[in-house]
Homo-oligomer: A and B are copies of this chain.
Amino acid sequence: MDPAVSDSPSSLFSVPAERRLPSHGGDTAWATTRFGEPQSGWLDLSTGINPDPYPVPIIAADLWARLPTSGHLGGLAIAAAEAYRAPTESLVLSPGSEAVLTLLPRLLAPTKVAVLNPGYGSHMTAWKAAGHRIQAMPAENITAQRLGETRILVVGNPNNPDGTRFEPELLLSIADQLSQQGGLLVVDEAFADGNPETSIAPHAGREGLLVFRSFGKFYGLPGIRLGFALAAPRLASALRDGLGAWPVSTPACLIGSTALKDRAWREATVAHLKARGAALDAAFEKADLPVFGSTLLFRLVRHSQARTLFNRLGENGVLVRAFTERSEWLRFGLPDDAGLARLIATLDRVRTAD
For A239, the chain B residues whose CB sits under 8 A away are: 3
**10 further contact pairs, Cβ within 8 A, besides A5-B237, A11-B237:** A2-B234, A9-B236, A9-B237, A11-B89, A12-B77, A47-B67, A53-B65, A96-B244, A122-B245, A249-B249
Q: A226 to nearest B CB, angstroms?
A: 9
What are 11 A-B pairs with beta-carbon distances under 8 A? Answer: A1-B151, A2-B182, A3-B235, A9-B236, A13-B89, A28-B69, A29-B71, A53-B64, A66-B223, A98-B245, A225-B248
Of A3, A71, A183, A243, chain B has the most CB atoms within 10 Å of the CB of: A3
Q: What are the interface flags for A1-21 relative to B under an 8 Å C-beta threshold, 1 for contact and 0 otherwise?
A: 111111001111111000000
Residue from B66, B71, B99, B106 in contact with A106 in the complex, judged by beta carbons closer than 8 Å: B106
Residue from B49, B108, B225 in contact with A1 in the complex, judged by beta carbons closer than 8 Å: B108
Are A247 and B95 in contact, CB atoms less than 8 angstroms apart? yes
Are B237 and A249 in contact, CB atoms less than 8 angstroms apart? no
Sorted nearest first, the 7 A-B pairs with minimum C-beta distance are: A223-B250, A98-B244, A9-B237, A3-B238, A95-B95, A53-B65, A1-B182
Q: Which of A234-261 contact B (CB under 8 A)?
A: 234-252, 255
Are A223 and B67 in contact, CB atoms less than 8 angstroms apart? yes
Are B3 and A102 in contact, CB atoms less than 8 angstroms apart? no
A residues near B, CB below 8 A? 1-6, 9-15, 24, 26-30, 47, 49, 53, 55-56, 59, 61, 63-71, 73-74, 77, 88-89, 91, 93, 95-96, 98-99, 101-103, 106-109, 111, 122, 125, 129, 151, 182-184, 216, 220-225, 233-252, 255
Q: A164 to nearest B CB, angstroms?
A: 23
For A233, the chain B residues whose CB sits under 8 A away are: 9
Are B243 and A99 in contact, CB atoms less than 8 angstroms apart? yes
Are B10 and A240 in contact, CB atoms less than 8 angstroms apart? yes
Residue from B47, B88, B184, B223 in contact with A251 in the complex, judged by beta carbons closer than 8 Å: B223
CA distance A71 to B96 in the complex (A): 19
For A66, the chain B residues whose CB sits under 8 A away are: 222-223
Are A12 and B223 in contact, CB atoms less than 8 angstroms apart? no
Are B29 and A67 in contact, CB atoms less than 8 angstroms apart? no
- Among residues of B, the one whose C-beta sits closest to the C-beta of A243 is B99
CA distance A249 to B224 in the complex (A): 5
Of A24, A99, A243, chain B has the most CB atoms within 10 Å of the CB of: A99
Whether A241 touches B6, Cβ cut-off 8 Å, given contacts A95-B225, A224-B249, is yes
CA distance A248 to B222 in the complex (A): 11
- Among residues of B, the one whose C-beta sits closest to the C-beta of A151 is B1
For A243, the chain B residues whose CB sits under 8 A away are: 99, 102
CA distance A139 to B58 in the complex (A): 47
